[in-house]
Structure 1
Amino acid sequence: MSLRWLPPLLVVLAACSAPGGGKSFVATDPCSVLKDGDAGALKGTPAKSGQACDFAFDGLTAKLTLREAAFADESQKLLADGGTGGVIAGGEGDSNNRPVTTRCEDSSGEVTCDAVLEVRERQLVTLQVVQRSNDRNAVGQVVQGLAAKAYERLVTT
């Protein structure tokens, strides 16, 4: 039995198994993940810094970062400070629910919520949303909504 076909087969399998058709997850432009209307009107142009992007929407700011790390490790950091776990439901035709952990705190009429979402194994979106508010739950729902939008857009790229 000849094994001459094995190296080309391994190359084909490696190419097929790369996420995003061979494109690195962190090579995705983080400023392309959120859009105008996701949390109100987008004000100005999002500012990119490495794998992070700062968005200014009506009444809130959001920082989105794409990272390759273990979800359990990043989630535990938020849970240790009083965060809560949840899931983002897969979209139409997508039965995969994805884990998300959020933590919100308020100070002087401003709520800051941090979240980590696992898009795929070792592919994370971290979000930080800051909004003038006294309602942690309302800002937490905004973070969940932005995480859902990010997931929806990232699984189609």
Structure 2
Amino acid sequence: MSMRWLLPLLVTLAACSATGGEPAFAEVDPCSLLRPGDAGGLSGTPARSDRVCDFRFDSLTVELTLLEAAFADESRALLSDGGYGGVIAGGEGESNNRPLTRRCAETSGEVRCDAVLEVRERQLVRFEVVQRGTDPNAVGQVVQGLAAKAFERLPK
């Protein structure tokens, strides 16, 4: 193949790969990020409203929201009210780990956890999880597992 054909071929390949593939963050269906088995059986079909999806698992409910905001701002609110930070392993190496902040509290036999995961700069997944019980740490671990599952299913 002569060199004069190489540049047009590369341009064509780049254009094809840019338009195909997985959807961008703004196009992701939030209901595609959790599935039956992630936190028990899924009861019914998840309810979607814009960038929010409500899931009902056997023993807990999850509201998952995709939003574009600064992680520091969203995280600060959780940290100021007793939350703490962690990470979700993003695969190959520590540089791919993603920050997660969560806050869990028990009131009246019910645990509520709020969490925010940074996927990329200004691309966040917010979780609101409610489960009957009195162990915020156990529910917090469930939230962390759900965040890891959602992150795996997002386009990279």
Instruction: Give your verdict on TM over 0.5.
Output: yes
Q: Deviations over 1:68-91 (max 9, x none)?
A: 111111000100111000000113
Q: How far apart are 1:94 and its partner, in Å?
A: 6.0
Rounded Cα–Cα distance in structure 2 between residues aligned with 1:155 and 1:98: 14
Tell me the distance in 2 between the aligned counterparts of 1:136 and 1:23: 35
Partner secondary structure for residue 34 of structure 1: coil
Q: Which ranges of 4 or more aligned residues in structure 1 deviate by more than 6 Å?
A: none
Cα distance, 1:23 vs structure 2:
4.1
Partner residue of 1:39?
39
Q: Structure 2: where are the runs of 5+ without partners?
A: 1-10
Q: What amino acid sits opposite 1:125 in the alignment?
A: V
- Computed over aligned residues only, the root mean square deviation of the Cα atoms, in angstroms, reads 2.2
Per-residue CA distance 1:21-78 (angstroms, 9 max, x = gap)? 6844132100001000000000100000110000000110000000011111100010
Query: Structure 1 stretches of 5 or more lacking a match?
Result: 1-8
TM-score calculated relative to the size of structure 2: 0.83
Q: Secondary structure, in 3 states, of the residue corresponding to 2:126?
A: strand
Q: Secondary structure at the residue paired with 1:113? A: strand
State how 1:120-131 maps to structure 2 within 5 Å.
Answer: 120-131=120-131
State whether structure 2 residue 32 is matched by structure 1 residue 28. no
TM-score, reference length from structure 1: 0.83
In structure 1, C-alpha distance between the alignment counterparts of 2:110 and 2:41, rounded to whole Å: 20
CA distance in 2, matches of 1:79, 1:106: 17
1:69-128: CA deviation from partner (whole Å, max 9, x where unpaired) = 11111000100111000000113x465100000000111000000000001111100001
Cα distance change on mapping 1:131 and 1:22 into 2, 3 Å:
closer
Residue 126 of structure 1: SS of its match in structure 2?
Answer: strand
Alignment-derived partner of residue 67 in structure 1: 67
> Larger radius of gyration, structure 1 or 2?
2
